Structure 1
Amino acid sequence: MAYDPTSPVITEIEQRRLETGISWQKLADHIDRPLVWTVAAMLGSHPMPNTEARAVGELLDLGPETVAALQRQPYRTENAAVLTDPTIYRFVELINVYGPAFKALIHEEFGDGIMSAINCNVNFERRADPDGDRVVVTIDGKFLPYHW
């Protein structure tokens, strides 16, 4: 399952979550997983272990097909339609603008290698600011040196 906002699985999850009033944070707390990881898994970006999938299935009263879909390995492909969403596009724009700078800084600080997108922690928070609240996204990725 890859993220597709029109898929029956995503539709069922969102419908049940909104009907019950259960927040993403409550779901993450319920399965004792990080917030961003939980949301990404429930939106189809990576598989959920059986125990966690069953627990959110019970909490949201999800059908067995949806619980099974949460456990499947997704196709991690680009969905061009999603890139038209203004919020998602801003993250793409951020990488387009700052990606080369991130790369240069990683190479200067760590050497020849990459930051892992698999072995990483992603955190999200809201921070009050007098000029308007701020969105804080932190990516804490493991450095992986190239081996030649």
Structure 2
Amino acid sequence: IVHRLPSQSPLLFAAKKQKNLSFETIAQALGREEVAVAALFYGQAKASEEDVKNLAKILDLPEDKLMETEMTGWPDRGRQMEMPPKEPLVYRLFEIVQNYGYAYKAVMNEKFGDGIMSAITFSTKVEREDDEKGTWCKITLRGKWLPYSRF
């Protein structure tokens, strides 16, 4: 994946590691969700100028150096990953859609009608839950419902 990352990624990841910061900590400082911040690091989201200024401050990076990168440009989304994914956790997410995709589709169509869930007007959140049975990962996907138009 390293050879497919944009120029800002090594700078951001090195600074994050050096300062021992989590995506959650950075997200709180930016007023964003942690998955959205991670997407900025991987070049899968467009940063605002305010995001760049705040990231530079949080990570002790020269703002002008970050502004010279592709961070505020148009992201080339989805090209970093081979299909099927090789990384085990990413593959597991792929496998969830592979196994339950049509079940999700059927239930969504019953609840909302003929349409799709937006991945543009969208938010996602990762949460940790602990109970007597162990540690659980909870992923919430929230997308606007987009009904297909008739023509």
Give TM-score, length-normalised by structure 1.
0.88
Q: What does 1:1-148 correspond to in 2, within 5 Å?
A: 4-6=1-3, 7=5, 8-63=7-62, 64-67=64-67, 68-78=69-79, 79-80=81-82, 83-148=85-150
- What is the CA RMSD across the aligned residues, in angstroms? 1.8
CA distances 1:69-124 after superposition (whole Å, capped 9, x unpaired): 22121112342188111011111111111111111111111111000011111011
Query: Which piece of structure 1 moves more, 33-42 or 17-26?
Result: 33-42
SS in 2 for 1:44: coil
Q: Secondary structure at the match of 2:117?
A: strand
In structure 2, C-alpha distance between the alignment counterparts of 1:107 and 1:121, rounded to whole Å = 20
Paired residue secondary structure (2:124): strand
In structure 2, C-alpha distance between the alignment counterparts of 1:92 and 1:29, rounded to whole Å? 28
Amino acid at match of 2:111: E
AA aligned to 1:142 is: K
Gaps of 5+ in 2: none
Instruction: Report SS of the residue matched to 2:142.
Output: strand
Q: Give runs of ≥4 in structure 1 deviating > 6 Å.
A: none
Contact persistence 2:9–2:41 (CA under 8 A):
yes
Say if 1:122 and 1:140, in contact at 8 Å, map to a contact too: yes
User: Aligned residues: percent identity?
Assistant: 28
